[in-house]
Amino acid sequence: MGDSPANSKRSSDDVLAATIADAITKASLVSQQKAIRLRDGLAKGTLTAADWKLLAELAVSDKGRDSL
Amino acid sequence: MKMPLQQLSVRGFRGATQLVDIAFEDKPVVMIFGENGTGKTTIVDAIDFVCNEHAGALEGRQSTPVKDYLPALGSKSSELQVELKWSSSTFKATLLGAKAKVVGPASRPNAKILRRAQILEIVDAQPAKRYEAFSRFVAVPNVERSESSLRDADRTAKSDFDIAAQNVNNAREELARLYKEAGSPKPDLKTWAKCKNDTDPKDLSARVSHIDALVALVNSATGTLGTLNQMKQQASSDLEAVQSLTIDLQAAEQASDEAKSDLLTLLDFAERYLTVHDDAEQCPVCEQGIMRAQLLIRIAARKASGAQVAEANRKLGLAKKEEERAQNLLENEEKRFLAASAALANGFRGSQLVLIRNGSIEWDRFASFLGDQVPPRTPESLALAADLLARCATFDGALRSERDTVSKEIENLRAIKLQYTAALKSAKQAKQLESLSRRLSALLSIVERERKKFVDDALDSIRKRVDTLYSKLHIGENIGDIKLQLDPNRRGSLNVSSRFESERDVPPQAYYSEAHLDTLGICIFIALAEQDSSDNTLLVLDDVLTSADEAHIQRFIAMMHDEVKLPVLITTHYRPWRDKYRYAKGPVANVQLVELLSWSKSRGIRHTKTKLEVDTLRDLLAIEPIDRQGVASKSGVLLEAALREVCLLYRCKLPLDPDGRHTLGDYLAGLDPKLRAAMKCVSVNQTGSATPGPEVTTALKQLLEAIEATTIVRNLVGAHFNPQGMNLTDGEVREVAVATLALLDALVCKSCGELPRRNQGSHFTCGCKAQQLHPLTIPGAPTAQIGN
């Protein structure tokens, strides 16, 4: 038989991805604009090591200084 | 809460050989009661089919293919149809091949179905299997995949940083070694290394090239001189050969007159003449007669005697040519040597090398070699050139040593530059990588923290709910405190632990009874269903409670009505559960009771509305002529059920019976006069607004007295065959029923249909709290008798 009908509720991945993106934004590690792409990548599981590296590098250049 | 499920129509599906049509009332709980084989599972399967596209009990079974066995006996698969009305929407499911085809709006009801066989699976399953049930709420595979990538990036950045830092250290150590080798010049290593790095190695390279050029000039001149000396020897040797061959020729000529070279030449001419002129009869010179033939023989003989002279003459000729060639070569080589010497002189004269400049060459003597000119080829020049070469050659060792020193200096300089540059570059890289690594670590820390918190919160939310539900069922039983924990050592593995007596964190499977595990499984399922619920969720419990004592059934009913906030459809074959509602021991007004009748292939699944006992009595009372025994008997049973509950509430004193069986008289006698006098029911009209409606208070003393007065009628007419009962009138029999109904109407809540039996501190209430029973305890009763 087929699968259960699709549930319109957000998946756990979606919920957690949004939470993480918010936390990272609040920590000023990424900008609001990049946080959206970060959230989508997290939820879909498509973020690679290179993506993370680029994100961290861009964060450095965005801020212009190392505030960590 | 309302029941959005309005109607279920099933045709040609499993046990539904005939159309089954069940209309649902707007009550939050539906209980479908039926003995085994009456069609309960068919109804649940039909809901599963239309809502979840599952084949119910046939799902996944190889031995009973869906397309063959889902249709009812004697029905074609094309006749199978399940129709479900949910709120304002209708969903129709048919069988297409082996799959359900559902037509209806996109938002289909979300039926969460728990079957008997699944209960133990939830509790007793392997941790990995159990995790599957929870994975929807705690599994975040996509985030975990991204987190894994982040961890890789963090690890790589740290590793790259370590390598860069190591490179810095290596370069610094190498620089320190070179610095030490250089004698640790002042002021410090850093200044020295920077200075060396700024030094242009071109000057040193030019010095090496210059030294190489001087050495090459010496070598060239030396080589030329060597060749010249060889040629001199050759020329001398060739001259000696000519002289020797001349002596040889003279000796040969002396040994024979004919051997004189000019005579031999004459004989050659004579021979050729006579050979050409074969008719000659006289000598052309002396004009004397000759014998030509004899003369030719004589000439040949004379020539033979002069052959040695001829050979010596030939060799001498060759030797003279060789000697002439050697002289030419010697002259050329002398010119080359002079040219090489001139180059050598200019090279050394123009050198800025200290060791050359401080050398002891008297350049005045060699002035003829300086400048663009080459000195004339004279023995003096050649001797001077050889002297010059000898003087220059004395510098060869010093030049080579100087070149080695400078070469090493260049090599060191290159090494210093290499290490200095590497140290700077690696230090810069290390700084960048350290910054990157710190950011990645910060990101990873947030992702890990939020993921763990999410999972912990989700599990904690479910755990709390399970614990709440379970504690309602097992009050004072020293079990519960459920914990749900992911196994830290195994991915996708969930452990359940609980309390048992004084032991905490023990696996419930090890200590709990089967009934306790059953209820735990049900509570976990309900908690999960609630967690995943939406506006269109229906909770379906298919025959999950098979056996339980009265207290647990009562608590289960209370839990279902008080705690569960989802519409529920329950099927059961457990009669005591149903009868709790029938005797007003549950909020029957909130329950739709459906009863399945016996099944046969020809009649299919049949159902009827379950009648409450009190309604049965009302119906009996309306029948004419009166069913005297039926009315009296039903009244007695209802009274015993209600008064037993009241006696239990007040812990009334009853005659001890080992089987717990008591008569109506026992219950009435157990009601203390003080209690009777104080007993009253207060009904609060439910207006739906914040402020309650007017209260209606009914004292129970008179109603109980009326019951007591008619007890004899019930015993004579409704209990056994008794001739004395025949003397009683129909009116007297009716009074029993009227008194019974009056008491029950006063006791039972008109809103929820439940007896007030919940301790509220000062009185008892029903489930909806619209009905109160006072007092809470028997006035003046000893402490041991007080409590609920």
The alpha carbon of residue B429 is apart from the nearest alpha carbon of chain A, in Å, by 13
Residues 229-268 of B with CB under 8 A from A: none
Angstrom CA distances, B517 to A1, B39, B306, B552, B564, stand at 30, 27, 145, 13, 19
**Using DSSP, how many helices (H) and how many strands (E) does chain A show?**
3, 0
Task: Tell me which of A4, A7, A20 to substitute to probe the interface with B (most B C-beta atoms closer than 10 Å).
Answer: A20
Instruction: Say yes or no: B99 contacts chain A, CB-CB below 8 A.
Output: yes
The alpha carbon of residue A40 is apart from the nearest alpha carbon of chain B, in Å, by 10
Instruction: Say yes or no: B101 contacts chain A, CB-CB below 8 A.
Output: no
> Which residue, B542, B599, B597, B548, is CA-closest to B577?
B548
Nearest chain A residue to B145 by CA: give it: A45
Instruction: Say yes or no: B616 contacts chain A, CB-CB below 8 A.
Output: no
Which tokens in the block code for residue B612? 């409450």
Long-range contacts of B697-704 (CB under 8 A, 24+ apart): B698/B746, B700/B676, B700/B743, B700/B746, B700/B747, B701/B676, B701/B677, B703/B739, B703/B742, B703/B743, B703/B746, B704/B668, B704/B671, B704/B676, B704/B679, B704/B743
Alpha helices in B532-569 (DSSP H): 550-562
pLDDT in tens, B265-286: 888 888 899 989 888 888 888 8
d(CA B75, CA B621): 45
Average pLDDT, integer, range A21-26: 94
pLDDT in tens, B52-93: 998 887 776 767 778 888 899 989 999 999 999 999 899 999
Chain B neighbors of A28, CB-CB under 8 A: none
Indicate yes or no: CB of B443 within 8 angstroms of CB of A7.
no
Which tokens in the block code for residue B99? 């799959």
B764: helix, strand or coil: strand
Task: Tell me which of A25, A52, A57 to substitute to probe the interface with B (most B C-beta atoms closer than 10 Å).
Answer: A52
Q: Give me the pLDDT at residue A5, please.
A: 44
pLDDT in tens, B2-56: 899 999 999 999 999 999 999 999 899 999 999 999 999 999 999 999 999 988 8
Instruction: Say yes or no: A18 contacts chain B, CB-CB below 8 A.
Output: no
Question: Contact B104/B90 with Cβ under 8 angstroms?
Answer: yes
Q: Where are the domains of chain A?
A: 12-62
The residue written with tokens 């504690």 in the block is B471
The alpha carbon of residue B4 is apart from the nearest alpha carbon of chain A, in Å, by 18
Indicate yes or no: CB of B99 within 8 angstroms of CB of A2.
yes
Average pLDDT, integer, range B552-573: 91
Chain A to chain B Cβ contacts (< 8 Å): 122
Indicate yes or no: CB of A20 within 8 angstroms of CB of B447.
yes
pLDDT in tens, B639-689: 999 999 999 999 898 988 888 789 999 999 999 899 999 999 999 876 555
Question: Contact B415/B174 with Cβ under 8 angstroms?
Answer: yes
DSSP B25: P
B254: helix, strand or coil: helix
Where is average pLDDT lowest: B154-158, B235-239, B749-753? B749-753
Indicate yes or no: CB of B442 within 8 angstroms of CB of A27.
yes
B135: helix, strand or coil: helix
d(CA B137, CA B305): 134
Task: Give the per-residue SS3 of B674-723.
Answer: HHHHHCEEEEECCCCCCCCCCEEEEECHHHHHHHHHHHHHHHHHHHCCCH
Indicate yes or no: CB of B153 within 8 angstroms of CB of A52.
yes
The residue written with tokens 């593995």 in the block is B493
Choose among B142, B152, B458: nearest Cβ to A43: B142
d(CA A1, CA B48): 11
Instruction: Say yes or no: A21 contacts chain B, CB-CB below 8 A.
Output: no
Looking at the DSSP bridge assignments, the partners of residue B110 are B537
Q: Is the pLDDT of residue B311 over 90?
A: no
User: What angle do helix axes A12-26 and A32-44 make, rounded to 10 degrees?
Assistant: 150
Whether the CA torsion B410, B412, B415, B419 is positive or negative: it is negative
Q: Give me the pLDDT at residue B397, please.
A: 92
Which tokens in the block code for residue B636? 């007695």
The alpha carbon of residue A3 is apart from the nearest alpha carbon of chain B, in Å, by 7
